[in-house]
Amino acid sequence: DTEVTQTPKHLVMGMTNKKSLKCEQHMGHRAMYWYKQKAKKPPELMFVYSYEKLSINESVPSRFSPECPNSSLLNLHLHALQPEDSALYLCASSQAGGAGTDTQYFGPGTRLTVL
Protein backbone atom coordinates (compact mmCIF):
# COMPACT_ATOMS: atom_id res chain seq x y z
CA ASP A 1 0.00 0.00 0.00
CA THR A 2 1.52 3.31 -1.09
CA GLU A 3 -1.31 5.58 -0.07
CA VAL A 4 -0.99 9.07 1.27
CA THR A 5 -4.29 10.74 2.13
CA GLN A 6 -4.99 14.45 2.35
CA THR A 7 -7.94 16.41 3.65
CA PRO A 8 -9.74 18.46 2.63
CA LYS A 9 -9.67 18.01 -1.15
CA HIS A 10 -10.76 21.58 -1.71
CA LEU A 11 -10.58 24.60 0.58
CA VAL A 12 -11.74 28.16 0.07
CA MET A 13 -10.69 30.68 2.68
CA GLY A 14 -10.57 34.41 3.25
CA MET A 15 -7.39 36.28 3.98
CA THR A 16 -8.27 36.59 7.67
CA ASN A 17 -9.18 32.94 8.20
CA LYS A 18 -7.19 30.26 9.96
CA LYS A 19 -7.36 26.78 8.50
CA SER A 20 -5.34 23.58 8.49
CA LEU A 21 -4.45 21.01 5.86
CA LYS A 22 -3.98 17.43 6.98
CA CYS A 23 -1.91 14.57 5.60
CA GLU A 24 -1.72 10.97 6.76
CA GLN A 25 0.26 7.89 5.79
CA HIS A 26 0.38 4.40 7.27
CA MET A 27 3.36 3.05 5.39
CA GLY A 28 5.74 3.45 8.30
CA HIS A 29 7.53 6.25 6.48
CA ARG A 30 9.65 8.53 8.65
CA ALA A 31 9.99 11.48 6.27
CA MET A 32 7.11 13.70 5.23
CA TYR A 33 6.97 16.70 2.91
CA TRP A 34 4.83 19.64 1.92
CA TYR A 35 4.94 20.96 -1.65
CA LYS A 36 3.14 23.83 -3.32
CA GLN A 37 2.16 23.59 -6.98
CA LYS A 38 0.81 26.42 -9.10
CA ALA A 39 -0.98 25.72 -12.37
CA LYS A 40 1.31 24.41 -15.12
CA LYS A 41 4.32 24.60 -12.81
CA PRO A 42 6.24 21.81 -11.07
CA PRO A 43 5.84 21.12 -7.35
CA GLU A 44 8.00 23.36 -5.14
CA LEU A 45 9.30 22.00 -1.88
CA MET A 46 8.16 23.87 1.22
CA PHE A 47 9.03 21.74 4.26
CA VAL A 48 10.61 18.40 5.10
CA TYR A 49 10.10 16.51 8.34
CA SER A 50 12.49 13.72 9.17
CA TYR A 51 11.70 11.53 12.19
CA GLU A 52 9.12 14.11 13.26
CA LYS A 53 11.63 16.94 13.30
CA LEU A 54 11.64 19.81 10.83
CA SER A 55 14.77 19.35 8.71
CA ILE A 56 14.14 21.69 5.78
CA ASN A 57 12.24 24.95 5.55
CA GLU A 58 12.63 26.41 2.07
CA SER A 59 12.29 30.01 3.28
CA VAL A 60 8.53 29.69 3.46
CA PRO A 61 6.61 32.72 4.85
CA SER A 62 5.52 32.37 8.46
CA ARG A 63 1.86 32.44 7.48
CA PHE A 64 2.46 28.75 6.69
CA SER A 65 3.18 26.73 9.82
CA PRO A 66 3.89 22.99 9.60
CA GLU A 67 3.35 20.52 12.39
CA CYS A 68 4.16 16.84 12.69
CA PRO A 69 2.22 15.44 15.69
CA ASN A 70 3.46 11.90 15.09
CA SER A 71 5.16 9.81 12.45
CA SER A 72 1.93 9.24 10.51
CA LEU A 73 0.50 12.74 10.48
CA LEU A 74 1.54 16.05 8.99
CA ASN A 75 -0.40 19.28 9.24
CA LEU A 76 -0.01 22.64 7.55
CA HIS A 77 -1.57 25.51 9.47
CA LEU A 78 -2.60 28.51 7.39
CA HIS A 79 -3.14 32.03 8.67
CA ALA A 80 -3.48 35.40 6.98
CA LEU A 81 -2.86 34.00 3.52
CA GLN A 82 -2.74 36.06 0.34
CA PRO A 83 -4.58 35.37 -2.93
CA GLU A 84 -1.26 34.42 -4.54
CA ASP A 85 -1.07 31.51 -2.09
CA SER A 86 -3.87 29.82 -4.02
CA ALA A 87 -2.41 26.56 -5.33
CA LEU A 88 -2.45 22.80 -5.04
CA TYR A 89 -0.76 21.72 -1.81
CA LEU A 90 0.77 18.29 -2.02
CA CYS A 91 1.92 16.08 0.81
CA ALA A 92 4.43 13.29 0.25
CA SER A 93 6.18 10.69 2.36
CA SER A 94 9.22 8.47 2.02
CA GLN A 95 10.86 5.73 3.99
CA ALA A 96 13.57 7.73 5.70
CA GLY A 97 14.91 11.23 5.72
CA GLY A 98 18.59 10.39 5.60
CA ALA A 99 20.95 10.01 2.69
CA GLY A 100 19.99 7.57 0.01
CA THR A 101 17.35 7.25 -2.62
CA ASP A 102 13.94 7.29 -0.97
CA THR A 103 11.02 7.29 -3.32
CA GLN A 104 8.49 9.95 -2.39
CA TYR A 105 4.83 9.00 -2.64
CA PHE A 106 2.39 11.83 -3.08
CA GLY A 107 -1.10 12.38 -1.78
CA PRO A 108 -3.88 13.69 -4.06
CA GLY A 109 -3.42 17.23 -2.81
CA THR A 110 -5.61 19.99 -1.40
CA ARG A 111 -6.68 22.65 -3.86
CA LEU A 112 -6.63 25.91 -1.94
CA THR A 113 -8.31 29.12 -3.04
CA VAL A 114 -7.68 32.30 -1.07
CA LEU A 115 -10.21 35.05 -1.63
Give me the residues that bind other proteins (CB under 8 A), please.
Answer: 31, 41-45, 48, 50, 55-56, 90, 94, 96-109
Cβ closer to other proteins: 22 or 79? 22
User: Residue 81 in contact with residue 90, Cβ under 8 Å?
Assistant: no
Taking the complex as a whole, the smallest distance from the CB of residue 46 to other proteins amounts, in Å, to 12
CB of 47 to other proteins, least distance (A): 11
Taking the alpha carbons of 58, 40, 7, 78 in that order, is the dihedral positive or negative?
positive
- Exposed (0-12), middle (13-18) or buried (19+): which is 10, by Cβ within 10 Å? exposed
Select 44 or 67, whichever has its Cβ closest to other proteins.
44
User: Of 49 and 64, which CB lies nearer to other proteins in the complex structure?
Assistant: 49
Residue 112 burial (CB count, 10 A)? 21
For the bound state, the minimum distance from the C-beta of residue 4 to other proteins, rounded and expressed in Å, comes to 8
